[in-house]
Amino acid sequence: MSGLSGEPPDMTGQTPEVSEPTPESKVPSVAARLALWQRSGGVITPILTALIAFLIGGLVVFATTGKNPLNTYKAIFKGTGLSWLSPVSIHWHLFYPAGIHWTGWDTTSPTALNLQQTLIVVTPLILTGLAVAFAFRCGLFNIGGNGQYTVGALVAVQFGVWFAGLPGPLHVIVAMVAATLAGAVWGGIAGVLKAATGAHEVITTIMLNWIALWVGSYLVGFNGPLQDPRAISAPVTRPIADSAHLHVFWGNPLLQGLHVGFFIAIAMLFVYWILLNRTTLGYEVRAVGFNAEAARYGGISVGRNFFLAMAISGAFAGLAGSIDILGWEFNLDLTVVQTVQVGFIGIAVALLGRNSAIGIFFSALLFGALLTGTSTRNLDPSVFQPELAGNLTRIIQGLVVLFVGADLLIIYLWQARKKLRLPQRKAAEQP
Amino acid sequence: MSVRVQPLQRGAWTRASAPSTIGMIGIGLGLVTLFLALPPVKVRTAPLPVAIGILAVAAGIWAFTRGEHRLGGGAVVSGVAGIGIALIVLQANAARLEGVFVWSALIAATLRYATPLTFAAIGGMFSERSGVVNIGLEGMMLMGAYFGAYGADVTGSWVGGLFIGLISGALLALVHAIFTITLRADQIVTGTAINFLALGVTGYLYNQHYGNNGTPENLPAVPDVNLKFLSHIPPQGLGNFLYNSIGQLNLMVWLSLLLLPVSYVALFKTPIGLRIRSVGEHPKAADTVGIPVYRTRYAAVTLSGALAALGGVFLSIGFVNSFTENMTAGRGFIALAALIFGGWRPFGAFAAALLFGFSSALAARLPDLSASDTAAWPLLFQTLPYVLTLIAVAGVIGRSIPPAAIGRPYVKQ
């Protein structure tokens, strides 16, 4: 990663004459480091990382409240509904199973409702995870997922209110495409600035987040242009037309059942993989990510790829915003605009999922479960206060990002393990 | 033998029509546009300010196309901003205008808003000059803000709050140092993690200690410095103006002003400063002459956390006198932008912080221009500091050169 205002990349795409290598060009980019890390460990490292994060989170719980962290985690897990996936429930008597009950897959049980909630939360996380991951593969760090999501949600809600006469599927598609484009524009701004002036994307995307937040607050808030004129006392937009609702395929549509947006997110995982690994665009994006200087020398327009990568990233996040609106929110609330955090969680999702499609799916599942399990609705306040638990999620998320970046820590631990083993082996070799 | 190229002798006209001169004139014209519409001049018609603003933009474009990107871009921005603000101001009635643009109050507010940015930017300067990017300034500020309030509450004095806040920021910075220097993790990713951690930790502790009630009302606050003698300076108007603008500032505002020369001397005139800079420019060379690279970087990063935390302490117990979750609201990043914009120098960073502080002060006061209390559009002014930061880092106004080894972990041989 070069400095905060590195050399401006070449917009023209012409091969520049080979200049003396600047100190910055020797710096491995984020993506290059990531690639190294990806080769150096298996699935084990992300799992270890998550475990360490949960362990420290547990220590925090114990140190501050004196409560048994295992019980807290158990209560959180209970709220996620993930146990529904297993058809048997096992009651543990300390160390041995005391009883095994066949529960089957009852689709109306509270556990099933919880699982629907979890998957509803997982859906945007997959997409914001992709938004971070795609930029990452181009060597860019997109922390503007929040803003891109907000812009997408704003556009989706307005398109859902307009065109009320359109037939269902068409209305949904129109609103989604518009929101995706809006997200792409919002992300693309950071890409253009990076390409044209070298402005660091971390700062520009953060600023764009705040701009989206305040513009959104203006539009949705009291007396704003999008505020519902019938609900003067509440800062909320008009509800979208019924034709713009996503189809609910599991559970009761009135009780926030699981909508088809989940499958759209899954499909986007495939799109991401194909785009990155089977197209020229993906090849160029990855080439720039591995080594921008070499890619430029090879005739790839670095600036163009910076823009495209950010725009596509923004598109994923914008789509996430539209799916939440069309799937279960149906209108946009001021508090939602001001407390969006899926973009930030997307960073942890992408990093823990090592920017691979399958990894993103599982880490989105993990963080989605954490979010649902710690929500005020699902966590038993007598076990653990949901407000604390919500912040515990943030701490775990921060720890994951912290440890995921520290590839060397894993290597140090690995070496320490070897050192521990070495004397034993020597002792064994002695006659 | 070396050949010296004599600078060309240029005539007065050549110099006056040089793109750089035109660019500077353009920036000046943009400021004139702004000035004309505001009190005390208050031109109440559009054509004059707009015409001058257009001239400023034209001068900027002219200079820009002739290679003066810095000044030309600056002139375009100042011209457009001048026209924009002049047009907004013309919408408001004259009496409200007088109420909003009280220059002494604006100066005081600008200094107040600039203070947290200054602390964080100077902190970031030490870290980045030593070669470690510090995206985590935001989190360190937030730590300082929470622990400043918490410390003041627990110890019952603002001094206690200040020190506890300072230490909390330094500790968080130490985590950043361990991961980026010893473990050579990516500095940007680690900084982001630091921000998340700070958000989670402060939110967690805040909810645990204060819950829904918020921080206590009677939180010990950092005192204001009352310079009553300023109001007795001879012309009554001047005296009052001075007293109203700088006579009632918070102690920490003065502390941040004091920090500027101190940090300048420390960084540029002392052996320690030379070490910090050499480690950030060429760590290998520094290592060769016996400067402990790791230790220097550790110290610089930890110091940056302590200073950023001071900015947070000012926010919580010097400015608003309470703590709310995520109260730094991106100020750490704005400080980072100020640092870049100011060319990694204390006074440059301060000038940029003043600019951002002024935009925040304007954002806070401009809504009063609106005739109705219920209008939604004044919310849009909240975006002003962020838009300005975006423009600044986009380098329209100038690009600065970062320390050579910034962002690079150093591997000891």
The angle formed by the CA atoms of residues A249, A250 and A255, to the nearest 5 degrees, is: 110
For residue A121, pLDDT beyond 90: yes
Residue A11 has pLDDT above 60, yes or no: no
Higher pLDDT, B412 or B194: B194
Q: What is the pLDDT of residue A306?
A: 94
Q: Is A2 in the B-facing interface, judged by CB distances under 8 Å?
A: yes
Higher pLDDT, B137 or A49: B137
Report ipTM for this prediction. Answer: 0.82
Provide the phi-psi class of B315: left if phi over 0, else alpha when psi is between -120 and 50, else beta: alpha
**pLDDT the model gives residue B265:** 94
pLDDT by residue (tens digit) across B244-264? 878 788 889 999 999 999 999
pLDDT band at residue B392 using 50, 70 and 90 as cut-offs: confident
Residue A10, pLDDT score:
39
CB contact under 8 A, B200 and A200: no
Of B193, B204, B337, the CB nearest to A392: B204
Residue A20 binned pLDDT confidence (cut-offs 50, 70, 90) = very low
Give the pLDDT score at B399. 61
Model confidence at A383: pLDDT above 50:
yes
Which domains, from first to last, does chain A contain?
29-422 (1.10.3470)
Whole-number pLDDT of residue A104: 67
Per-residue pLDDT, B373 = 65
Domains of chain B plus CATH, in order, are 19-91 (no CATH), 102-393 (1.10.3470)
Kindly determine whether residue B187 and residue A1, on different chains, have CB atoms separated by under 8 Å: yes
Task: Name the pLDDT band for B31 (thresholds 50, 70, 90).
Answer: confident
Give the bridge partners for A248, in sequence order.
Answer: A259
Looking at per-residue confidence, does A76 or A10 come out higher? A76
Cα separation, B367 vs B382, whole angstroms = 9
> Residue B188: which pLDDT band, with cuts at 50, 70 and 90?
confident
Is the model more confident about A45 or about A420?
Answer: A45
B8 has a pLDDT exceeding 70: no
pLDDT: which is higher, A120 or B12: A120
Helices B251-268 and B293-313: crossing angle in degrees, nearest 10, is 160
Using pLDDT thresholds of 50, 70 and 90, give the confidence band for residue B271: very high
More confident residue, A243 or A83: A243
* B372: confidence class by pLDDT, cuts 50, 70, 90: low
B51 touches chain A (CB under 8 A): no
More confident residue, A38 or B385: B385
Q: Which residue of A has its CA nearest to B187?
A: A1
Residue B6 pLDDT > 70: no
| Residue partners of A278: CB distance under 8 A and separation at least 6 | none
Distance from CA of B357 to the nearest CA of A (A): 15
Q: So what's the pLDDT on residue A93?
A: 67
CB B408 within 8 A of CB A25: no
**Å between B390 CA and nearest CA of chain A:** 6
- Residue in A65, A217, A401 nearest the CB of B192: A401
Q: Could B186 and A399 be called an inter-chain contact, meaning their C-beta atoms sit closer than 8 Å?
A: no
What average pLDDT does the structure give for chain A? 81
Among the residue ranges A17-26, B69-78, B254-263, B296-305, the one predicted with the least confidence is A17-26
Q: Which residue has the higher pLDDT, A14 or B219?
A: B219
- Does B371 lie at the interface with A, CB-CB under 8 angstroms? no
How many helices and strands in chain A, by DSSP H and E? 16, 4
User: CA-nearest residue of chain A to B337?
Assistant: A203
Q: Mapped to the 3 state alphabet, what secondary structure does chain B carry?
A: CCCCCCCCCCCHHHHHCCHHHHHHHHHHHHHHHHHHHCCCCCCCCCHHHHHHHHHHHHHHHHHHHCCCHHHHHHHHHHHHHHHHHHHHHHHCCHHHHHHHCCHHHHHHHHHHHHHHHHHHHHHHHHHHHCCCCCCCHHHHHHHHHHHHHHHHHHHCCHHHHHHHHHHHHHHHHHHHHHHHHHCCCCHHHHHHHHHHHHHHHHHHHHHHHCHHHCCCCCCCCCCECCCHHHHHCCCHHHHHHHHHHHCCCEHHHHHHHHHHHHHHHHHHCCHHHHHHHHHHHCHHHHHHCCCCHHHHHHHHHHHHHHHHHHHHHHHHHHHCCCCCCCCCCCHHHHHHHHHHHCCCCHHHHHHHHHHHHHHHHHHHHHHHHCCCCCCCHHHHHHHHHHHHHHHHHCCCCCCCCCCCCCCCCCCCC
By the CB < 8 Å criterion, does B345 face chain A? no
Could you read off the pLDDT of A387-413 as tens digits, one per residue?
A: 787 788 888 888 888 887 776 676 666
How confident is the model at residue A25, as a pLDDT?
44
pLDDT at A19 over 50: no
pLDDT at B221 over 90: no
Residue A22 has pLDDT above 60, yes or no: no
Which of A27-31, B245-249, B381-385 has the weakest average pLDDT?
Answer: A27-31
Task: Please give the average per-residue pLDDT across B187-206, as a whole number.
Answer: 89
Contact A353, A133 (CB under 8 A): yes
Quick one: pLDDT at residue A73?
79
Is B308 part of the contact surface with chain A (CB cutoff 8 Å)? no
Q: What is the pLDDT of residue B407?
A: 76
pLDDT at position B177? 93
Q: Which residue has the tokens 């460990």?
A: A41
pLDDT of residue B106: 85
Instruction: Identify which of A65, A200, A392 has the shortest CB distance to residue B393.
Output: A200
Q: Return the SS3 of A237.
A: strand
Mean pLDDT for the stretch of residues B77-84? 83
Rounded CA-CA distance B142/B199 in Å is: 7
Give pLDDT, residue B46.
76
B69, B150, B196, B374: best mutation site toward chain A, by most A Cβ within 10 Å? B196
> Which has the higher per-residue pLDDT, A61 or B347?
B347
* Predicted confidence (pLDDT) per residue in A189-222, tens digit: 999 988 888 888 888 998 899 999 999 999 998 8
Query: Looking at A108-117, A143-152, A357-366, B379-388, which range is the least confident one?
Result: A108-117
Cβ–Cβ gap A23/B128 under 8 Å: no
On whether any CB of chain A is under 8 Å from the CB of B361, the answer is no
Nearest by CB to B337, which of A203, A224, A388? A203
**Predicted local distance difference test score (pLDDT) of residue A268:** 95
Residue A29 in contact with partner chain B when CB distance is under 8 A? no
CA B375-B381-B384 angle, 5° bins: 170
Check: CB of residue A182 under 8 Å from CB of residue A152. Answer: yes
